[in-house]
Amino acid sequence: MSFPLKKEKLHIFVDIFRTLRWALRELKSFRVRLYLYVIILVLQALYEIFIASRVGNIIDLALLDNMKELIKTASIFISMYAFNIVICIISNRFAAHNYNGMYNTLELKVYRKIMDSSWEELTEYHSGDLITRLASDIKTVAGNTSGLVPTMIAKLTMIICAGIYIIALDYSMILVAIIVAPIVLIASRLLMGKIYKSQIEIKEIESRINSYNKETFNNIQAVKAFNLGNSFYDKMVAFEDYRRSVDLRSNKYSIISWGISFFAGLLGAAICIGWMFYRVHLGAISFGALTILIFLAFQVGDAMKVLLNLIPTIMEYMASADRVKKILNLNDEDVISSGENIQSFADDAEKNGASIKIEDMFFKYRNGYEVFKGASLEANPGEIVALVGPSGEGKTTMLRIILGIVKAQKGMVLASNGISSLPLGKETRQLISYVPQGNTMMAGSILENMKLVNPDALDEDIIDALKTACIYEFIEQLPDKLHHMLGENGLGFSEGQNQRLSIARALLKKAPVILLDEATSALDVATERQVLNNIMKKDPKKTVILTTHRPTVLSMCDRVYRIADKRVNVIGDTDIKKLMDEF
């Protein structure tokens, strides 16, 4: 039974140092500043030991009744102590600068990684969990790297140097250290594994709570409409009850661990002090030396107390670092072509338009779910191509493949500009405008939303795009017009109005290919047809690929593909008419 316990403890200590090494590697630009802060704290610890060594002189002078020297020495002692306070203030300010710099750097690094990561890998994390890692976990890592690590080093320096000084004053104290050190060390290691596991549980439940809150607030209208307030509240109560129980369990382990360590420390201190008085009794050391020894012993005890109190913080640090590390270890999206090739291709596509060509394509998701087997599709400049079929058969997946968000395992997936071809991937997205399902408008003004895809767009460009999407007349009636503020997810506008805003925003990108994923589902048939007519009239070279469950627009399409049973097949006029009749 003892062997697995010992193995767990050793594993935890190894993980502590691995965490520190990882943090320093990720924040390498702050190494010099961090080392400088460590040096300041170490020098401060040595300075405190030096101050303690002067106490003995005061005691000896007091016993000799030498008031003149006593006052002089005491004045120097007070000055040194005041200087130590100044050092504390400077070091705290230095630590604040380090923390803010580390926090900003790590936050931006994780945010950049999320932007660059493989979409499939990223979808394994709930957005609420990502927010927790981006905020809470990064704050823990940055705070403890800038504060915890230097504090540990400084306190360990205090313990080691004070111990050496104590032994130098009285060599016999080495025998006491041999007895006391193992007692304190063994006591401090107890329950570390349980504290660490509890901290991991706390982080996980906090992520679940944040994820649940995000889901709730994103769907608050539906929650109210179905009168689910009590049900959602009860589930939140269950989450909070679990979080509280885990937190209290961690606190219990921390208190027990601290209590055991504290009493072990008291036992060690009692042994040390008893031995010191015995040495005074023998005449081996003076009262001044005894005072120094006691003072140093208290400093060692205080440093030990700080280190023991840091155990839960160390465990939280390790848990948070592990969660941040997992995000930073996500694979980036594949880079297929160089920037020069893409720019040259884009310049030609601007003149000639761009085609999408897919042949004999096979695709399945990371979870093993197979979507396509030998699928083929073609869309050329000046064409509107529709994808139809039952829900869940792969229409949206096909658009993800065209966007390069997911990668086919086999087959040809290319963009062509009439002169050359390129494999579809991350780099070719600049050739494509995309209007996804659902509401993608963000809180802010209409103007700010429009300029997301084209920051340099002029007002006349924006107005032109809004007219093409059949939404400008409505915006003209608003008091603030383009400066009208939208709520979260376009709150304040209808679904159809938000869809037309999304189409206008996509048109502002001026890409040769536009993908519309159920992007006109909330529009009436006449407006839907008008929007598509406007798009093609505005740019006759535009390649339009749309997914739809409504066959009313299919008569406008140059080709219609049915996606079903992992296959993609062109359907003729008879099948299209049948779909329209059934609708």
Give the domain-ending residue among 306, 328, 350: 328
DSSP state for residue 484 in the 8-state scheme: P
The span from the CA of 183 to the CA of 186, in Å, is 5
Query: Which residues contact residue 489 at a Cβ distance below 8 angstroms, ignoring those fewer than 6 apart?
Result: 218, 439, 441, 442, 443, 498
pLDDT in tens, 215-238: 888 778 778 777 888 888 888 899
Predicted local distance difference test score (pLDDT) of residue 207: 84
- The per-residue pLDDT for 254 is 76
Lowest model confidence (mean pLDDT) among 48-52, 400-404, 461-465, 477-481: 48-52
Is pLDDT at 506 greater than 80 in this prediction? yes
Regarding whether 450 and 377 lie in a shared domain, the answer is yes
- The gap from C-alpha 209 to its chain's centroid, in whole angstroms, comes to 16
If asked whether residues 171 and 305 sit together in one domain, one would say yes
pLDDT confidence tier of residue 138, bands split at 50, 70 and 90: very high
Rg (the chain; Cα; Å): 34
Distance of alpha carbon 178 from alpha carbon 174, whole angstroms: 6
Same domain membership, residue 293 and residue 173? yes
Q: Is residue 318 part of a domain?
A: yes
**pLDDT value of position 550:** 80
Structural domain range at position 230:
2-328
Give every CB contact of residue 228 below 8 A, 6+ residues apart in sequence.
222
How confident is the model at residue 227, as a pLDDT? 82
Q: Inform me whether the pLDDT recorded for 110 exceeds 80.
A: yes
Longest dimension (CA), the chain: 117
Return the minimum-mean-pLDDT range out of 179-193, 499-513, 553-567. 179-193
Contact 340, 389 (CB under 8 A): no
Same-domain check for residues 264 and 361: no
Q: Is residue 463 part of a domain?
A: yes
Structure confidence at residue 6 as a pLDDT band (50, 70, 90): very low
Please check whether residues 347 and 324 belong to one and the same domain.
no
d(CA 479, CA 410): 53
End-to-end CA distance of the chain: 70
- Residue 292 in contact with residue 55, Cβ under 8 Å? yes
- pLDDT (average), residues 319-329: 91
The CA-atom distances, in angstroms, between 531 and each of 96, 192, 473, 507, 526 are: 55, 64, 14, 11, 9
CA 3 vs CA 191, 270, 354: distances in Å: 15, 32, 66
Min mean pLDDT across 85-99, 124-138, 347-361, 464-478 is at: 85-99
pLDDT in tens, 326-341: 999 999 987 766 556 7
The contacts of residue 61 (CB under 8 Å, 6+ apart) are: 69, 70, 73
484 burial level (CB within 10 Å; 0-12, 13-18, 19+): middle
Alpha helices in 469-524 (DSSP H): 472-476, 495-508
This prediction's pTM: 0.79
The Cα-based distances of 415 to 40, 345, 353, 429, 515 in angstroms read 59, 9, 10, 10, 14
Task: Supply the CATH number for residue 168's domain.
Answer: 1.20.1560.10
Is the pLDDT reported for residue 412 higher than 50?
yes
Does residue 491 share a domain with residue 424?
A: yes
- Give me the mean pLDDT over the 382-403 stretch: 92
pLDDT at 472 over 90: yes
Average pLDDT over residues 118-128: 88
pLDDT band at 58 (very low <50, low <70, confident <90, very high): low
By percentage, how much of the chain surpasses pLDDT 70?
85
The pLDDT value recorded for residue 5 is 36
Do 349 and 420 have their domain in common? yes
Q: What pLDDT is recorded for position 427?
A: 86
pLDDT of res. 10? 39
Average pLDDT over residues 79-91: 77
Q: What is the pLDDT of residue 54?
A: 67
Give me the pLDDT at residue 205, please: 87
Question: What own/partner pairs with CB < 8 Å and gap ≥ 24 does 9-13 have?
Answer: 9/189, 9/192, 9/193, 12/192, 12/193, 12/196, 12/318
Task: For residue range 522-581, list pLDDT tens digits in order.
Answer: 888 899 999 999 999 999 999 999 998 888 888 889 999 999 889 999 988 777 777 766
Partners of 562 in the β-ladder = 388, 569
pLDDT surpassing 50 at residue 193: yes
Domains identified in the chain, total number? 2
> Could you tell me if residue 334 is inside a domain?
no
Check if the beta carbon of residue 333 is closer than 8 Å to that of residue 214: no
What per-residue confidence (pLDDT) applies to 491? 82
